[in-house]
């Protein structure tokens, strides 16, 4: 297949691009290098997995402003990962960026795709749409109630996917990712910060009391689920949770880090950030039954892989700022 991957230089996008190329697909990668974190790690993501592939083509374009018809026309499949990420930074003056990069960009891409309704359009959403869920594990049938501007824009983009599916028969699939971690993770995310602090002997700051839990999902499991969603025969505008399969507290994560590094980590606990939720846990029954999704990476193993990647990258460059 010829696959359009938006956000190809990002954390998940670079892993997905690599997986698609390894399978023998051609990938047209799009990224605008927005300023949510430094450009160098994104360029490293690209060069690490795509520079030696003749089947990879990169186009630097802003989806919210560029002409997307030609890009979509060349591809058999669209996987839309590009977004403005982060809960805490979505308040205040940066909100316009979230509207532009999460809502407007998605609408432009859907508008281009409606001319070819048979092309599968996979949209990467987030567990943030659930907000403070009323039940755990949380099924896709739970009423979304985001508690951050970021979550609101991700939910809005989901609605756009459903609208274009209903009105123009665009073949959309919506995936709700639960706290993805692993090598190449964004430098503002908790595991990246924890690993960097542990390796460098820096202080660790935890937002909240550490008893908050997340359904941590290793990046390769998310890529496997995304590829399955791209190919499966599923209902129009189907929604699937992709989670790691266990609800783990931040304190347990730090215990794993202590074991892996042999260091006595003493975090400082502070107030939870606005928009942060207390718990997340994915009910992946639907993804298992309809996509064959089965997360295979234990948290400790995935954390060790991220820690090893952090160690390697620290040896060749200064740690990126978040």
Using a pLDDT cut of 90, give the percent of the chain over it.
Answer: 89
Residues 25-36: tens digit of each pLDDT: 999 999 988 777
Question: What's residue 52's pLDDT?
Answer: 75
Q: Is 192 inside a domain boundary?
A: no
Domain that holds residue 67: 2-180+218-244+280-296
Q: What is the CATH number of the domain that holds 175?
A: 3.40.50.720
Q: Decide: 4 and 78 in contact? Cβ < 8 Å.
A: yes
Q: Is 306 inside a domain boundary?
A: no
Residues 105-150: tens digit of each pLDDT: 999 999 999 999 999 999 999 999 999 999 999 999 999 999 999 9
Give residues with Cβ within 8 angstroms of 179, minimum separation 6: 127, 214, 215, 216, 217, 244, 280
Question: What's residue 290's pLDDT?
Answer: 98
Say how far apart CA 158 and CA 33 lie, in whole Å. 23
Say how far apart CA 155 and CA 34 lie, in whole Å. 21
Residue 60 has pLDDT above 60, yes or no: yes
Q: Is 172 inside a domain boundary?
A: yes
Q: Is 258 inside a domain boundary?
A: no
Question: What's residue 42's pLDDT?
Answer: 81
Question: What's residue 316's pLDDT?
Answer: 47
Per the structure, the count of domains in the chain is 1
Which of 98, 130, 150, 218 is flagged as catalytic?
150
Q: Tell me what the pLDDT averaged over the chain comes to.
A: 93
Q: Decide: 175 and 242 in contact? Cβ < 8 Å.
A: yes
Question: What's residue 43's pLDDT?
Answer: 79
Q: Is 186 inside a domain boundary?
A: no
Question: What's residue 48's pLDDT?
Answer: 62
Nearest to 168 by CA among 121, 123, 124, 227: 121
Nearest to 71 by CA among 127, 31, 130, 131: 31
The structure tokens listed for 317 are: 């460059």
Residue 40 has pLDDT above 80, yes or no: no
- Mean pLDDT, rounded, for 253-282: 96
Q: Is 239 inside a domain boundary?
A: yes
Q: Is 286 inside a domain boundary?
A: yes
Question: What's residue 318's pLDDT?
Answer: 47
Residue 320 has pLDDT above 50, yes or no: no
Q: Is 59 inside a domain boundary?
A: yes
Active site (annotated) includes residue 150? yes
pTM of the model: 0.95
């Amino acid at each position: 297949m010829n696959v359009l991957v938006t956000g190809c230089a990002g954390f998940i996008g670079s892993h997905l691009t690599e997986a698609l190329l390894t399978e023998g697909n051609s990938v047209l990668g799009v990224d605008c290098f927005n300023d949510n974190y430094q450009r160098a790690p994104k360029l490293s993501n690209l060069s690490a997995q795509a520079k030696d592939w003749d089947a990879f083509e990169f186009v630097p374009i802003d989806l919210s402003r560029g002409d997307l018809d030609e890009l979509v026309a060349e591809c058999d499949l669209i996987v839309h990962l590009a977004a403005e990420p982060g809960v805490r930074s979505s308040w205040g003056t940066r909100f316009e960026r979230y509207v532009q990069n999460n809502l407007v960009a998605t609408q432009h891409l859907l508008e281009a795709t409606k001319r070819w309704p048979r092309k599968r359009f996979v949209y990467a959403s987030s567990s943030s749409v659930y907000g403070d869920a009323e039940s755990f594990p949380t099924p896709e049938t739970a009423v979304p109630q985001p508690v951050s501007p970021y979550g609101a824009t991700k939910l809005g983009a989901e609605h756009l996917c459903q609208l274009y599916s209903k009105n123009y028969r665009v073949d959309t699939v919506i995936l709700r990712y639960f706290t993805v971690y692993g090598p190449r993770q964004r430098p503002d995310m908790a595991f990246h910060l924890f690993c960097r602090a542990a390796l460098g002997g820096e202080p660790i700051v935890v937002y909240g009391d550490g008893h908050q839990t997340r359904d941590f999902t290793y990046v390769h499991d998310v890529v496997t689920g995304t590829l399955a969603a791209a190919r499966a025969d599923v209902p129009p505008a189907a929604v699937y949770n992709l989670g790691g399969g266990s609800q783990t507290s931040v304190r347990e994560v730090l215990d794993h880090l202590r074991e892996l590094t042999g260091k006595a980590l003493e975090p400082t606990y502070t107030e939870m950030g606005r928009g942060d939720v207390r718990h997340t846990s994915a009910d992946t029954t639907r993804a298992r039954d309809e996509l064959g999704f089965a997360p295979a990476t234990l948290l400790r193993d995935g954390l060790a892989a991220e820690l090893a990647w952090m160690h390697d990258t620290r040896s060749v460059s200064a740690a990126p700022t978040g």
